[in-house]
Amino acid sequence: RCGMTDSTLIAILPGDGIGPEVTREARRVLEALDLGLRFEEAPVGGAAYRTSGHPLPPETLALADRAAAVLFGAVGDPAFDSLERALRPEQAILGIRKHLGTFANLRPARIFPGLEDASTLKPEVARAIDLVIVRELNGDVYFGAKGRGTTPAGKREGHDLMRYDEDEVRRIARVGFETAAKRRGKLCSVDKANVLETSQLWRDVVMEVAVDYPQVELTHMYVDNAAMQLVRNPGAFDTIVTGNLFGDILSDQASMCVGSIGMLPSAALDGAGKGLYEPIHGSAPDIAGQGKANPCAAILSAAMLLRHSLGQDAAADRVEAAVAAALGRELRTPDMGGDATTAAMGEAVLAGL
């Protein structure tokens, strides 16, 4: 990464499938706020491979570097499934996260009024969900030494090293405490300290960081219990901070509790203001080009961008309220059981602004 960033420039990387359809609506919402932002688009994923022969061209990375924040659609195109791994569209998201050094993944999960029926939980349990999972994104078992071999007895063997150092834990713990401090002031650190050395280090470091946040109430929970509590009494959670592997599993679990995948935004933050914002859903090739995609996850990702990269909390609140208002008017795309189009849903959010 080099050069200066432009505090008014937003990079839009629409990507593949429904990516362009949902980022279009999110961009219109950002434009309507009249914050003096500028937008530049660049291709990524299969769309970039088609025009340049690479899913993450240097020009796209250069735009991401110059911009204050990146709004990302989705990547993935079945037409390129037979390409070698490095050229597949999906590699673009891993590559850009690594390039930007985004180590903290924020996934809020809350249920919008009227969507309780779409949850896998009982409506009265679902209604109480308003939590955010802060997942470490750059370490853990995903990035430790891996290998396959043969045991002395001639059996096939495989291993993946789970590893964290204290600096990696400290910086994600800080994001967890900062997030909790701005919410309801409750942080639950999830680990498996009864069996894992990495988790014991994690717990030690989290408790050290806690000294700087006396206003935050810290608890610790083993991941197996956390998985159980997430479906038993999710309303008890405010902010969860956890490692890469546990966060991967728990955030998918939490997302099912709030109904449609088309409602869930995410942020990947570098700790210094730069962030990449994207819906948690993929490129959804099965519905691409049909105007059926729910743009709310992309629009709510834009709200996270306003909050976490631009410090525009009031504007972010307005966007979230406009989404809630649109849903309150019984407007639903097909994933939520209605027949509204992507554009109609976007229009309704704009009207709510």
SS3 162: coil
H or E segment and range at residue 14: strand 6-15
Q: Which of residues 281 and 307 has its CB atom nearest to ligand ATP in the complex?
A: 281
Question: Which residue is listed with tokens 């359809």?
Answer: 21
Exactly one of 192, 238, 274, 277 is catalytic; which is it?
Answer: 192
Q: Does 13 bind ligand ATP (CB under 6 A)?
A: no
Which residue minimizes CB distance to Mg ion?
A: 282
Q: Does 293 bind ligand ATP (CB under 6 A)?
A: yes
Annotated binding site: 97, 107, 135, 224, 248, 252, 282-294
Alpha-carbon distance of 76 to 287, in angstroms, equals: 13
Residue 93 binds which one of Mg ion, ligand ATP, none, with CB within 5 to 8 A depending on kind?
Answer: none
Q: Which of 14, 57, 73, 262 binds ligand ATP (CB under 6 A)?
A: 262
Q: Does 327 bind ligand ATP (CB under 6 A)?
A: no
The footprint of ligand ATP on residues 189-248 (CB under 6 A) is none
Q: Which of 81, 157, 208, 286 binds ligand ATP (CB under 6 A)?
A: 286
Q: Which of 282, 303, 319, 327 binds ligand ATP (CB under 6 A)?
A: 282
- Hey, CA dihedral for 297, 300, 304, 306, is it positive or negative? positive
Alpha-carbon distance of 195 to 159, in angstroms, equals: 17
Exactly one of 65, 130, 142, 186 is catalytic; which is it?
Answer: 142
Exactly one of 165, 204, 252, 339 is catalytic; which is it?
Answer: 252
- Determine the straight-line distance between the first and last CA of the chain, rounded to whole angstroms: 36
DSSP 184: T
Which residue minimizes CB distance to ligand ATP?
A: 282
Q: Which of residues 69 and 288 has its CB atom nearest to ligand ATP in the complex?
A: 288
* Known catalytic residue at 192: yes
Is 291 exposed, middle or buried, given 0-12, 13-18 or 19+ CB atoms closer than 10 A? middle
Annotated binding site for substrate: 97, 107, 135, 224
Instruction: Give exposure, 227-265, as e/b (b: 16+ Cβ within 10 Å).
Output: beebeeebeebbbbbbbbbbbbebbebbbbbbbbbbbbb
* Known catalytic residue at 130: no
Residues lying near ligand ATP in the complex (CB under 6 A) are found at 18, 22, 74, 76, 261-262, 281-284, 286-287, 293-294, 297, 335
